[in-house]
């Protein structure tokens, strides 16, 4: 079988075997609806499994289980927080940044059709939002500030605790998209003091199509999905039990392994970067290497078209990314790299490598050999 070296863990991660094992019974034998817990022991068992997963999710971010609302994805969690507040308030102004994930950017833009206004603040050349710009953007009618914890393309970690305090000083809700940071660095809602925080299980070796939203005060939002009484009536629909159980297990494993994983990922990533720098000229890192997710590396390779390099790497089973997975079909350059101040040409010579807990040193050596030789060949061909 062709060797696979998967270095695109920011797009999604492989499901851990322990997580799959935990999910399996809920596809068949333990099929009960947890909302029937008053009527049957089968229903009660399902309900207990649901609440066990909620406890693991809460514990991972230092929240109370009552503040965890299961959703169908990180995208849904972002929509729930932003539209939920907007529809509850009825009108107002929202502040976010230019390099948010589309799940936030497009949600805020969509609210313009319903009469809401917004400000998108800049990021600096190192990949951080400027808190002064956020402060200047605050208006009397600002209802929400939404700034991501860590960026999905360049991995820079934002000063969300300060931004949260600024929001609250002005009586404004604060939401953070922690889809990329959660389970990779410390995410603690008590420290952040956020009102909302979005998570997605498939970014930390859990299943796809399931996430959760931390909500400090459940009265602060209107539901987006009306129907049954599930999730306190805020998110109707029969629970995705295999998904939620898998999410809970992934949270439990992540919490147990956090410190160890972080160190391993930093070592792999830094070794990878240093070896590239020693062997190839014309490499620049996009975004600061300080205050950056341990698993993220985004580099610009002078004179290289990222599509050509990625296709070449794919022939050897090495997978990385030219931009975010959700924008992979776009022909326009990455909005994150453009917001960082790169030209469209520089953006199209950039590659994101995102490392995972299952990557080994041997895989990294193999990938480095291939990548170094491909870059040299592509540059020779270019003349």
- Return residues touching ligand PLP (CB under 6 A): 73-75, 78, 101, 103, 148, 152, 177, 179-180, 200, 211, 324-326
Catalytic annotation on 251? no
We find the least distance from the C-beta atom of residue 293 to ligand PLP, in angstroms, to be: 11
Nearest-CB residue for ligand PLP: 74
Catalytic site residue from 182, 194, 251, 326: 326
Length of the chain: 383
Nearer to ligand PLP, 180 or 295 (CB): 180
CB of 148 to ligand PLP, least distance (A): 6
* 285 touches 299 (CB < 8 A): yes
- Nearest distance from residue 297's CB to ligand PLP, in Å? 16
Closer CB to ligand PLP, 158 or 312, in the complex:
158
Using CA atoms, how far apart are residues 103 and 355, in angstroms rounded to an integer? Answer: 23
State in angstroms the smallest separation of the CB of 75 from ligand PLP: 3
Q: CA distances (Å), 98 to each of 78, 89, 102, 128, 209, in order?
A: 16, 24, 10, 11, 26
CB of 373 to ligand PLP, least distance (A): 30
The residue (of 248 and 312) whose beta carbon lies closer to ligand PLP is 248
- Residue 106 or residue 218: which is nearer to ligand PLP going by CB? 106
Q: State the nearest-atom distance from the C-beta of 366 to ligand PLP, in Å.
A: 26
Q: Which one, 326 or 372, has the nearer CB to ligand PLP?
A: 326
Nearer to ligand PLP, 134 or 148 (CB): 148
- Active-site amino acid positions: 326
């Amino acid at each position: 079988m062709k060797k696979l070296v998967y270095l695109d863990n920011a797009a999604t991660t492989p499901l851990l075997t322990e997580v799959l094992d935990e999910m399996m019974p809920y596809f068949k034998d333990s099929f009960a609806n947890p909302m029937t817990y008053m009527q049957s022991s089968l229903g009660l068992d399902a309900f207990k499994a649901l609440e066990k997963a909620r406890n693991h999710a809460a514990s991972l971010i230092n929240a109370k289980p009552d503040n965890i609302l299961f959703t169908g994805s990180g995208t849904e969690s972002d929509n729930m927080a932003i539209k939920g507040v907007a529809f509850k308030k009825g009108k107002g102004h929202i502040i976010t940044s230019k390099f948010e994930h589309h799940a936030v950017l497009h949600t805020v833009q969509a609210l313009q059709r319903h009469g809401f206004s917004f400000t998108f603040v800049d990021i600096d050349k190192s990949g951080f939002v400027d808190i002064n710009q956020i402060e200047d953007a605050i208006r009397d009618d600002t209802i929400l500030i939404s700034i991501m914890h860590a960026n999905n393309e360049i991995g820079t970690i934002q000063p969300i605790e300060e931004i949260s305090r600024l929001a609250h000083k002005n009586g404004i809700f604060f939401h953070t998209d922690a889809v990329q940071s959660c389970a990779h660095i410390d995410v603690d809602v008590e420290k952040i003091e956020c009102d909302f925080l979005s998570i997605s299980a498939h970014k930390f070796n859990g299943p796809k199509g399931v996430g959760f939203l931390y909500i400090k005060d459940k009265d602060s939002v209107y539901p987006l999905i009306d129907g049954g009484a599930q999730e306190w009536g805020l998110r109707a629909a029969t629970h995705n039990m295999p998904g939620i159980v898998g999410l809970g297990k992934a949270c439990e494993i992540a919490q147990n392994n956090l410190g160890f994983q972080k160190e391993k990922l930093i070592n792999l990533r830094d070794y990878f970067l240093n070896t590239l720098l020693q062997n190839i000229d014309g490499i620049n890192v996009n975004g600061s290497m300080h205050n950056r997710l341990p698993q993220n590396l985004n580099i610009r390779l002078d004179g290289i078209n990222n599509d050509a390099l990625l296709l070449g790497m794919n022939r050897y089973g090495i997978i990385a990314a030219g931009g975010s997975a959700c924008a992979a079909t776009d022909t326009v350059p990455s909005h994150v790299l453009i917001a960082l101040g790169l030209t469209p040409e520089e953006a199209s010579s950039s590659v994101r490598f995102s490392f995972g807990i299952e990557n080994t040193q041997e895989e990294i050596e193999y990938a480095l050999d291939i990548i170094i030789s491909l870059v040299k060949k592509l540059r020779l061909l270019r003349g």
